[in-house]
Chain A
Amino acid sequence: MAHAVQSHGIEMEFGSNGTRTKVLHGIDFTLDMGRLTMLVGPSGCGKTTLLSILSGTLRPTGGDVDVMGRRITAMADAEKVRFRRDRIGFIFQQYNLLPALTAAENAAMPLVAGGMSLGDGAGRARAVLETLGMGAHADKLPRQLSGGQQQRVAIARAIVHAPALIVCDEPTAALDAQSGRQVMDILKQVSADPGRAVLVVSHDNRIYHYADRIIAMEDGRIAGDSADDTLPEELHVH
């Protein structure tokens, strides 16, 4: 199975000289294509920091990250922006939809950032929204949608440009149980594409069973991995 992501000794420190805090301690792991991998752990364990580094939005203080065979930790900022735009899809906890744009226009943003007109992009995004059961809401503004619907728009935005890696930060945290399940069902389908990897950061144990693989973190280190049967007992999903 091809690796979507390979990380080598990722380290991250925050703060200035006197008050530097190390939040990641030499993280090594790989992400496989065609799988939904879940990064779990208690709040403050470094999940989101690791996600930010893997997605190229944060530069680590040490170590390297290869995404789709490209070393993003060595890329210049402009190159990294283009790489993110073309190869990575993002799903955020708070959706981060632009309130002035319709669902279709929001979903089209990666295409628009790539140079497509808003009208053409929205046309393409409309088709994606249809597949997610959101066709009837394509022309609505975010404030006219429920949380679950907004998150589905965010999913459409994450997949509209057919990226190879999709990173999701607590995608169900702001949703009720039913909406959370609908979102995870979609992400599960999306991850089934053999040319794509989905990484979900979550501490919502109700959705762990969607994962093909679970990586547990604690205090900035990998505490267990279902891939090598080192997952702590309490995280075993049946």
Chain B
Amino acid sequence: MWQVALKMLTGDRAKYIALIFGIAFATLLMSQQVSIFIGLMSRTASQVLDVREADVWVMDPRVRYIDEVEALPDEALGRVRSIDGVAWAVPLFKGLAMFRTTDGLVNQVSLVGVDDETLVGAPRVWLAGGLESLREPDAILFDAQGADFIWPGQDPLAAIGKEAEINDSRVVVRGLVDASAPFITFPIAYMRYSQAITVTPPTRNKLSFVLVRARDGVTAEALASRIEAETGLQALTRDDFAWRSILYYLTRTGIPVNFGITIALAVIVGAAITAQTFYLFVIENLKQFGALKAIGATNRQIAGMVLLQAAVVGALGFCLGIGTCAVFFSFTQDVPALEGFILRWQVLVGVGVVVGLIIAIASLGSLLKVFRVDPAIVFRG
């Protein structure tokens, strides 16, 4: 009977295509929105995750996420270095600064000051220049999107060698890096730590974070606990700090609620389209199922037919929707607003489960109707 089921399904080409596209649309809607949400939330931790050399981030105990900086006194660096298990510890500055081009255009930038000696904290993927270019006098680096933001319409590489001012101090663009897109839209600028604390307004403390590498044989978790116990500062492993930042945005902003509503609507719309289309498909074939029952097809055979039809349109629609979503992110990977947004396998599996549930519910609803259909229906004109 499975051949009959497939022929019934594909026999009406218009309904067959409508069914597949309904499920594909629902899949695309859900997977795309969930992926964008996850991508957006990942951006809140991108500056933490980009610093791969550091196992532990040390900060003021009041800091709740990466963009909330409560500077430490300079001696904190020495205290951290003195902890047993620390291989090395370097300072990191993070703050905002005003960047002015020679044309007089002003932009606020997110300024990162990396350790003068080791340059730990600077990105490792270079589009122009190189790590050593940070050591040049008045050097400043930008991420490619930042350069495009500051000098719109120009090739970002043309920014190399340009002079500008940051908080009224002369700087020269010496390189372009490929940094993960941050949550806030400011361009990211990198300087040496000594330069960064010089060009920013004077405050009592300037040390935003201390980046720490654990000695071999010492786990990041154990070292973080030890630093906290011995210094009274807050010390988090790289992953813990990344999650702390993500959770801050999840719990303290309206983003999850708004995206949650969008995703819920996507699920509801997708479910409604899918379930209704499939239900109507079965209902329109009710008389055919009635005839089959009269002829001698069992409820079990008919259930198998309906479930096979559901599985086929579900699988095809899901593959089409997920494929479209993957193509979407592939084509938009260079669009700054969507950079770094990808279709994760977890999203694929999750959406697959949701689509499967929708199809299962629609199938069961249809099956109840088919089971109840009286085979004598075929004698009623």
Query: Which A residues lie at the B interface, using CB under 8 A?
Result: 48, 51-52, 55, 57-58, 78, 81-82, 84-86, 88, 90, 92-94, 96, 98-101, 105, 109-110, 112-114, 117-119, 157, 169
State which of A84, A94, A109, A113 has its C-beta within 8 Å of the C-beta of B381: A94
* Inter-chain contact A52/B3, CB cutoff 8 Å: no
| In the complex, chain B residues whose CB is within 8 Å of the CB of A92 | 291, 378-379
B287 interface residue per 8 A CB criterion: yes
| In the complex, chain A residues whose CB is within 8 Å of the CB of B294 | 55, 57, 84, 90
| In the complex, chain B residues whose CB is within 8 Å of the CB of A101 | 4, 7-8, 11
| In the complex, chain B residues whose CB is within 8 Å of the CB of A78 | 298
* Inter-chain contact B295/A109, CB cutoff 8 Å: yes
**19 interchain pairs (CB within 8 A)?**
A48-B379, A57-B378, A57-B379, A85-B297, A90-B294, A92-B291, A93-B379, A94-B381, A96-B288, A99-B12, A100-B8, A100-B12, A109-B4, A109-B292, A109-B297, A112-B4, A113-B301, A117-B3, A157-B295
State which of A52, A81, A112 has its C-beta within 8 Å of the C-beta of B376: A52
* Inter-chain contact B8/A90, CB cutoff 8 Å: no
* Inter-chain contact B376/A84, CB cutoff 8 Å: no
B380 interface residue per 8 A CB criterion: yes
Residue-wise interface mask of B (246-261) relative to A, using a CB-CB cutoff of 8 A (1 in contact, 0 not): 0000000000000000
Q: With A51-B379, A81-B293, A85-B295 in contact, is A118–B287 under 8 Å at CB?
A: no
Nearest A-chain residue to B9, judged by Cβ:
A100
How far does the Cβ of B366 sit from chain A's closest Cβ, in whole Å? 17
Residue-wise interface mask of B (272-313) relative to A, using a CB-CB cutoff of 8 A (1 in contact, 0 not): 000000000000000110111111111101000000000000
* Inter-chain contact A81/B296, CB cutoff 8 Å: yes
Complex formed: what's the CA distance from A52 to B290 in Å?
Answer: 13
State which of B3, B12, B288, B374 has its C-beta within 8 Å of the C-beta of A57: B374
Nearest A-chain residue to B297, judged by Cβ:
A113
Query: Which B residues lie at the A interface, using CB under 8 A?
Result: 1, 3-4, 7-8, 10-12, 287-288, 290-299, 301, 374-376, 378-381
Instruction: Identify 17 new A-B residue pairs, CB closer than 8 A, beyond the known A96-B288, A113-B298.
Output: A57-B294, A57-B375, A57-B376, A84-B296, A88-B296, A90-B291, A90-B294, A92-B378, A93-B381, A96-B378, A98-B7, A98-B8, A99-B11, A100-B8, A100-B11, A100-B12, A114-B296
* Inter-chain contact A100/B10, CB cutoff 8 Å: yes
Nearest B-chain residue to A51, judged by Cβ:
B379
How far does the Cβ of B306 sit from chain A's closest Cβ, in whole Å? 14
* Inter-chain contact B7/A100, CB cutoff 8 Å: yes
Complex formed: what's the CA distance from A196 to B1 in Å?
Answer: 27
Complex formed: what's the CA distance from A45 to B291 in Å?
Answer: 23
* Inter-chain contact A113/B296, CB cutoff 8 Å: yes
* Inter-chain contact A52/B295, CB cutoff 8 Å: no
Complex formed: what's the CA distance from A118 to B8 in Å?
Answer: 13
State which of A82, A88, A118 has its C-beta within 8 Å of the C-beta of B3: A118
Nearest B-chain residue to A154, judged by Cβ:
B291
| In the complex, chain A residues whose CB is within 8 Å of the CB of B301 | 113
Nearest B-chain residue to A88, judged by Cβ:
B296
| In the complex, chain A residues whose CB is within 8 Å of the CB of B12 | 99-100
Most B C-beta atoms less than 10 A away, residue of A109, A114, A157: A109
State which of A85, A96, A113 has its C-beta within 8 Å of the C-beta of B1: A113
Complex formed: what's the CA distance from A94 to B287 in Å?
Answer: 11
Complex formed: what's the CA distance from A118 to B296 in Å?
Answer: 15
| In the complex, chain B residues whose CB is within 8 Å of the CB of A94 | 378, 381
Nearest B-chain residue to A173, judged by Cβ:
B381
* Inter-chain contact A169/B379, CB cutoff 8 Å: yes
* Inter-chain contact B10/A112, CB cutoff 8 Å: no
Complex formed: what's the CA distance from A200 to B288 in Å?
Answer: 22
Complex formed: what's the CA distance from A81 to B289 in Å?
Answer: 13
Most A C-beta atoms less than 10 A away, residue of B291, B296, B301, B380: B296
* Inter-chain contact A110/B298, CB cutoff 8 Å: no
How far does the Cβ of A123 sit from chain B's closest Cβ, in whole Å? 14
* Inter-chain contact A85/B3, CB cutoff 8 Å: no
* Inter-chain contact A90/B4, CB cutoff 8 Å: no
Nearest B-chain residue to A90, judged by Cβ:
B294
Complex formed: what's the CA distance from A107 to B51 in Å?
Answer: 71
| In the complex, chain A residues whose CB is within 8 Å of the CB of B298 | 78, 81-82, 113
Nearest A-chain residue to B296, judged by Cβ:
A85
* Inter-chain contact B295/A110, CB cutoff 8 Å: yes
* Inter-chain contact B295/A84, CB cutoff 8 Å: yes
Complex formed: what's the CA distance from A58 to B378 in Å?
Answer: 11
Nearest B-chain residue to A52, judged by Cβ:
B376
Complex formed: what's the CA distance from A231 to B107 in Å?
Answer: 104
How far does the Cβ of A63 sit from chain B's closest Cβ, in whole Å? 17
* Inter-chain contact B3/A110, CB cutoff 8 Å: no
How far does the Cβ of B139 sit from chain A's closest Cβ, in whole Å? 72
| In the complex, chain B residues whose CB is within 8 Å of the CB of A98 | 4, 7-8, 11, 288, 291-292
* Inter-chain contact A96/B296, CB cutoff 8 Å: no
* Inter-chain contact A113/B379, CB cutoff 8 Å: no
* Inter-chain contact A52/B379, CB cutoff 8 Å: yes
How far does the Cβ of A122 sit from chain B's closest Cβ, in whole Å? 10
- Chain A to chain B: the 4 pairs with minimum beta-carbon distance, closest first: A85-B296, A100-B11, A96-B291, A52-B376
Nearest B-chain residue to A82, judged by Cβ:
B296
Complex formed: what's the CA distance from A143 to B318 in Å?
Answer: 32
How far does the Cβ of B370 sit from chain A's closest Cβ, in whole Å? 14
| In the complex, chain A residues whose CB is within 8 Å of the CB of B290 | 96
Complex formed: what's the CA distance from A94 to B3 in Å?
Answer: 24
How far does the Cβ of B313 sit from chain A's closest Cβ, in whole Å? 15
| In the complex, chain A residues whose CB is within 8 Å of the CB of B11 | 98-101
| In the complex, chain A residues whose CB is within 8 Å of the CB of B376 | 52, 57-58
